[in-house]
A and B are shown apart, each in its own frame.
Chain A
Amino acid sequence: MTGPGHLRSAVDIAAAVRKGEISAAEVLERHLARVGAGESGVHAFNLVLTDEARRQAAAIDAAVAAGKDPGPLAGVPIALKDNLCTRGIPTTCSSRILEGWKPPYDATVVERLAAAGAVAIGKTNLDEFAMGSSTENSAFGPTRNPHDLERVPGGSSGGSAAAVAAGFAPVALGSDTGGSVRQPAALCGVVGVKPTYGLVSRYGLIAFASSLDQIGPFARTVEDAAAVLDAISGPDRRDSTSLREPPPLASERLKTGVDGLRIGVVSELAGAEGISPDVVARTREAAEALSAAGAKVEEVSVPAAMYGLSAYYLIAPAEASSNLARYDGVRYGLRVEGGPGADVTEMYLRTRSAGFGAEVKRRIMLGTYALSAGYYDAYYGKAQQVRTLIIRDFETAYRDFDILLGPTAPGTAFPLGAKTSDPLAMYLNDVCTIPSNLAGHPAMSVPFGTGDDGLPIGVQVLAPALGETTMFQVAAALEGAAPPLAEPGITEEAVR
């Protein structure tokens, strides 16, 4: 995609910086200017790393000047979801409970991005601890959708999605536990990727649900997303669940086309509860476009997928209830003490009640309940069995198909506040994205046209474990066939 002024793709930026055609500093300043113009309306960031980014950019320019190669993402500004640990830089998870905390270490992805020459431009807003689908559950206020500031950007990585859509950065990282990269990508009209579980190290990603969390990139182009994924994927000895084998190359077959590929449209996803007709229509059009490009496209059934949502809302809260126990006011972050003579339990109760927002409390309680004596088998145990069934059904489907296709989100971006009082309605946003998390498979959302309201719609490309190369191959073809999307109107005037 070419765009006005600074809106060059990450791949273009890196190529130009490496050749010395443009300085990393200049690239950064253009993006910082864009942030300056649009951020007050969008609120994509919890923290803009102006000084740190300038230092990083200067170091890259110095490397280029010294004849050294700063790496494949040289000078590319990247926005980081604020649940990725950055050494010495506040990392909040958009929660009051982490008030004042500066991690003493960098997440593995942060190290790898730096090694690849990328420049971290800021920490982006999210639903508190990545729990939500609208970025309204942030202790620091909601992020707004750059395409319509009265609407949500999706979530939980809404800040990262909005930052890329608004042109604050060409690429960003988010984390996807049940759709938290793909759904906001769809709502903001950008590309969003959830890699195979274990492909990207989780070390330094503040856990929500450990067996489901994966870090993935946002980008305006499929090629940029592939470049970022290739820079961050691969084994990490600090993450026991990190895959040992060499990672598949996402950028390997972007221009190969889809001739001869077998693509299945998942009927359970396309026909899931509450999917709007325009989303179904765009998904069908995407399938037709792939068929026209030479793929063999058919309907396929993945029956257990429809139980994904139920299983997910037991497994994820259960793991979260345990992962979030450590926020107790003892070692870091917020502490609220009781009066004189109050004991440590009183301190726990006060700290956690003051530090966590309502959605986090809901999920902690849901998960605590699902794991508690007498309910484990009926809830958590059963959900894990459903997980097995979903994996089996996907296996069956992938015997006949290389790639599966479905909607990403049930509808376009919804107005702020529309679903905040009804958790279940909010959870239904993830119905199409959850099965891939439960199976540990990769999936990505690619913008494909708009809804009746003119807002972006994403189509989801699903692949079996480590099927990233083919997934990106199909995503690139879809991108090529997609109707052009209007730039969001984030200008000085639009934001007043």
Chain B
Amino acid sequence: MTSTTAEISWEIVVGLEVHAELRTRTKLFCGCANSFGQEPNTNICPVCLGLPGSLPVLNRTAVEFAMRVGRALNCHVQPSIFHRKNYFYPDMPKDYQISQYDLPINTDGWLELPGGTRIGIVRAHMEEDTGKTTHVGGGGRIHGAAHSLVDYNRAGVPLVEIVSAPDIRSSEDARTYVDELRSILVAIGASDGKMEEGSLRVDANVSVRPAGSEQFGTRCEIKNMNSLRSLGRAIEYEAERQIGVIRDGGTVIQETRHWDESTGRTGSMRSKEEAYDYRYFPEPDLVPLEPSAEWVAEVEESLPELPAERRMKAGSASGIAADQDAVVTVVRLDLDRYLDNVVASGASAETAAIAVRRLANEVAAEIDSIGNLDPKAFTSLVTMESDGSLNPMQSRAVLKEMLASGGDPEEIAKRLGFEAMSAGALEEVVNRIVSEHPNEWERYVGGDDKLTGFFVGKIKAATGGNADLKEASALLRSKRGT
């Protein structure tokens, strides 16, 4: 290619494949426990161990969860069948994976990002998880290991694989998409969405194209990202790599690449001659799945409010835009029930906005202590802040106490000595401070606004923090006549 390529700008095109483990009690095709962190090879039976003669029987609850995922993602729930995906690998007890192929249970949906961008969902299908392999020697990595060990506890755990359309245009949006999807999965109770524990796994199909182009470039599938951060980094790296290849006059080869967190690079996963041929065919040991319209309707009715709706609600109650970080955080952390309680008390939008800020900041920072925070007590607190009984600083201090050890905000405020000052008492203090510092006052009156801080600091010290400092500044301003 010529130097012109160096000048053009590039667009990143990303499609994501998210594997989510479903929170059933038992595995997809057998009655073994679906639970994380057990002793190795204790949750296994003839079926999930693929013993000769064993047969799979489909878990009804897994199907129901899959349908929930589908409806929550606005998919069409349709009759489906299972296929066998054939390949040899030690973590696959049968050396084939039972998965859905050309007739998945959910198709053609969408997910709306908090900013309003809609990402298409191509499909969300059911499949079984594999076992877990650990590598001995070579620092625990697959390359250089002397041998490997397999634990089949995870083999047969139900997964839903959610495949997005290539509608994502930045690493930022990719992260937002996964975050939103995770919130939805958690909200509907289908998955616990823990990327670190591997219950949520993300592969990214990344390609680049000149901005404005309608055609897609050759894509690479990137695997092995285990946090949102590494997802973002991997996409950025891979896009840069592909742009570099094209700029250097090369062509991007369609392949699967492995993200290496420690080097911050992606690397080719397999040699070219080992092309995979999965030889899909309908799984003869299972029968077709045709959920009745009644069942689908029942599942749909049982869906809770989804994060997007909840953000809309929180936004309209507080007057803060639904895609603002504060609202997004409140919903993501499942804190909107506190807001609901405030709203239900008949609070104003302003009060609700105070609640949103407190939830998104102080409460979010101490989310592990959320069990100490009673919704009614929280409502009392924001009401006190709203009516001026507590100034914002006092309110934050009280809230911190409530999160640390529970309790009633009025009592805590009293214990901390936060007596609300009457307007008259505050004015008295202001007058006293002004008279004690005539030179500073003169400069302030002369227009030196930097002295606001000086006076506010004095007032704060003189009142032991009980003064509403906003109110105090207002008094100072009116006193000098501005």
A interface residues, Cβ below 8 angstroms from B: 83-85, 91, 93, 98, 101, 103-105, 107, 202-207, 209-211, 237-241, 318-319, 321-322, 325-326, 328, 330-332, 344-345, 348, 368, 371-373, 376, 380
Complex contact B284–A211 (CB within 8 A): yes
Selected interface stretch from B51-59, B236-244, B323-331: B51-59
Residue of A nearest to B278 (CB): A373
Residue of B nearest to A98 (CB): B52
Shortest distance from the beta carbon of A345 to any chain B beta carbon, whole Å: 7
Residue of A nearest to B152 (CB): A331
Residues of chain A within 8 A (CB-CB) of B279 are 321-322, 368, 371-373, 376
Cα distance A140–B142 when bound, in Å? 40
Complex contact B287–A318 (CB within 8 A): no
Mask of B37-58 contacts with A, CB within 8 angstroms, 1/0: 0000000001001111111111
Q: Decide if B88 is an interface residue (CB 8 Å cutoff).
A: yes
Cross-interface CB contact of B51 among A103, A211, A241, A325, cutoff 8 Å: A103
A-B contact pairs, 8 of them (CB 8 A): A207-B285, A240-B285, A241-B285, A321-B279, A326-B52, A328-B95, A332-B51, A344-B90
Complex contact A326–B53 (CB within 8 A): no
Shortest distance from the beta carbon of A351 to any chain B beta carbon, whole Å: 11
Q: Decide if B150 is an interface residue (CB 8 Å cutoff).
A: yes
Complex contact B52–A85 (CB within 8 A): yes
Q: Report if A326-B287 is in contact (Cβ < 8 Å); known contacts: A240-B57, A318-B281.
A: no
List residues 398-429 of chain B with CB under 8 A from any CB of chain A: none
Cα distance A104–B46 when bound, in Å? 8
Q: Report if A210-B53 is in contact (Cβ < 8 Å); known contacts: A322-B86, A371-B86.
A: no
Given A238-B55, A240-B58, A326-B94; 12 other pairs, CB 8 A cutoff: A85-B52, A101-B52, A207-B53, A210-B284, A211-B284, A240-B57, A241-B284, A241-B285, A319-B281, A321-B279, A326-B52, A368-B279
Residues of chain A within 8 A (CB-CB) of B58 are 240
Q: Report if A91-B86 is in contact (Cβ < 8 Å); known contacts: A240-B58, A371-B279.
A: no
Cross-interface CB contact of A344 among B84, B148, B284, B285, cutoff 8 Å: B148
Cα distance A487–B110 when bound, in Å? 73
Q: Decide if B444 is an interface residue (CB 8 Å cutoff).
A: no
Q: Decide if B158 is an interface residue (CB 8 Å cutoff).
A: no
Residues of chain B within 8 A (CB-CB) of A325 are 86, 88, 94-96
B interface residues, Cβ below 8 angstroms from A: 46, 49-58, 84, 86, 88, 90, 93-96, 148, 150, 277, 279-281, 284-287
Cross-interface CB contact of A319 among B53, B56, B284, cutoff 8 Å: B284
Cα distance A376–B102 when bound, in Å? 14
Tell me which of A237, A328, A372 has the highest count of chain B C-beta atoms within 10 A of its own C-beta. A328
Nearest 5 interchain pairs by C-beta: A325-B95, A371-B279, A210-B284, A211-B284, A206-B52
Cα distance A328–B56 when bound, in Å? 20
Complex contact A238–B57 (CB within 8 A): yes
Cα distance A258–B401 when bound, in Å? 91
Complex contact B95–A103 (CB within 8 A): no
Complex contact A210–B88 (CB within 8 A): no
Q: Report if A322-B53 is in contact (Cβ < 8 Å); known contacts: A240-B287, A344-B90.
A: no
Cα distance A380–B84 when bound, in Å? 14
Cα distance A101–B51 when bound, in Å? 10
Cα distance A240–B55 when bound, in Å? 8
Complex contact B277–A372 (CB within 8 A): yes
Cα distance A158–B46 when bound, in Å? 28
Residues of chain A within 8 A (CB-CB) of B277 are 372-373
Residues of chain B within 8 A (CB-CB) of A203 are 53-55
Residues of chain B within 8 A (CB-CB) of A380 are 281
Complex contact B88–A204 (CB within 8 A): no
Cα distance A196–B86 when bound, in Å? 29
Cα distance A368–B378 when bound, in Å? 65
Cross-interface CB contact of A103 among B53, B55, B93, B286, cutoff 8 Å: B53
Residue of B nearest to A97 (CB): B52
Residue of B nearest to A347 (CB): B90
Cα distance A326–B90 when bound, in Å? 10
Residues of chain A within 8 A (CB-CB) of B94 are 325-326
Residues of chain A within 8 A (CB-CB) of B56 are 240
Cross-interface CB contact of A210 among B50, B57, B95, B285, cutoff 8 Å: B285
Shortest distance from the beta carbon of A383 to any chain B beta carbon, whole Å: 11
Shortest distance from the beta carbon of A437 to any chain B beta carbon, whole Å: 12
Complex contact A202–B281 (CB within 8 A): no
Residues of chain A within 8 A (CB-CB) of B46 are 103-105
Residues of chain B within 8 A (CB-CB) of A84 are 53
Cross-interface CB contact of B88 among A93, A237, A348, cutoff 8 Å: A348
Residue of B nearest to A84 (CB): B53
Complex contact A93–B52 (CB within 8 A): yes
Complex contact A331–B53 (CB within 8 A): no
Residues of chain B within 8 A (CB-CB) of A376 are 279, 281
Complex contact A330–B90 (CB within 8 A): yes
Residues of chain A within 8 A (CB-CB) of B53 are 83-85, 91, 103, 107, 202-207
Residues of chain A within 8 A (CB-CB) of B50 are 326, 331
Cα distance A338–B258 when bound, in Å? 28
Complex contact A322–B96 (CB within 8 A): yes
Cα distance A384–B195 when bound, in Å? 42
Tell me which of B54, B277, B280, B284 has the highest count of chain A C-beta atoms within 10 A of its own C-beta. B284
Residues of chain B within 8 A (CB-CB) of A240 are 55-58, 285-287
Complex contact B88–A202 (CB within 8 A): no
Residue of B nearest to A210 (CB): B284
Cα distance A428–B266 when bound, in Å? 54
Residues of chain B within 8 A (CB-CB) of A373 are 277, 279
Residue of A nearest to B30 (CB): A238
Cα distance A9–B277 when bound, in Å? 53
Residues of chain A within 8 A (CB-CB) of B285 are 207, 210, 240-241
Tell me which of A105, A238, A325 has the highest count of chain B C-beta atoms within 10 A of its own C-beta. A325
Cα distance A237–B55 when bound, in Å? 10
Complex contact B52–A103 (CB within 8 A): yes
Shortest distance from the beta carbon of A419 to any chain B beta carbon, whole Å: 28
Residue of B nearest to A368 (CB): B279
Shortest distance from the beta carbon of B407 to any chain A beta carbon, whole Å: 54
Residue of B nearest to A371 (CB): B279
Cα distance A210–B287 when bound, in Å? 12
Cross-interface CB contact of B93 among A93, A331, A344, A345, cutoff 8 Å: A331
Cα distance A269–B90 when bound, in Å? 45
Tell me which of B51, B93, B280 has the highest count of chain A C-beta atoms within 10 A of its own C-beta. B51
Tell me which of B57, B88, B90, B281 has the highest count of chain A C-beta atoms within 10 A of its own C-beta. B281
Cross-interface CB contact of B287 among A104, A205, A241, cutoff 8 Å: A241
Cross-interface CB contact of A331 among B49, B281, B287, cutoff 8 Å: B49
Shortest distance from the beta carbon of A335 to any chain B beta carbon, whole Å: 12
Shortest distance from the beta carbon of A128 to any chain B beta carbon, whole Å: 13
Shortest distance from the beta carbon of A177 to any chain B beta carbon, whole Å: 12
Shortest distance from the beta carbon of A415 to any chain B beta carbon, whole Å: 32
Complex contact B281–A371 (CB within 8 A): yes
Shortest distance from the beta carbon of A256 to any chain B beta carbon, whole Å: 34
Cα distance A205–B52 when bound, in Å? 8
Cα distance A368–B284 when bound, in Å? 16
Residues of chain B within 8 A (CB-CB) of A321 are 86, 279
Residues of chain A within 8 A (CB-CB) of B52 are 85, 91, 93, 98, 101, 103, 206-207, 326
Cα distance A331–B91 when bound, in Å? 11
Q: Report if A330-B55 is in contact (Cβ < 8 Å); known contacts: A325-B96, A372-B279, A380-B281.
A: no
Tell me which of B49, B52, B93, B148 has the highest count of chain A C-beta atoms within 10 A of its own C-beta. B52
Cα distance A211–B53 when bound, in Å? 14
Residues of chain A within 8 A (CB-CB) of B49 are 331
Shortest distance from the beta carbon of A106 to any chain B beta carbon, whole Å: 10
Complex contact B93–A239 (CB within 8 A): no
Tell me which of B51, B53, B277 has the highest count of chain A C-beta atoms within 10 A of its own C-beta. B53
Shortest distance from the beta carbon of A316 to any chain B beta carbon, whole Å: 11
Shortest distance from the beta carbon of A153 to any chain B beta carbon, whole Å: 24
Cross-interface CB contact of A345 among B51, B57, B86, B88, cutoff 8 Å: B88
Cα distance A328–B52 when bound, in Å? 12
Cα distance A197–B51 when bound, in Å? 22
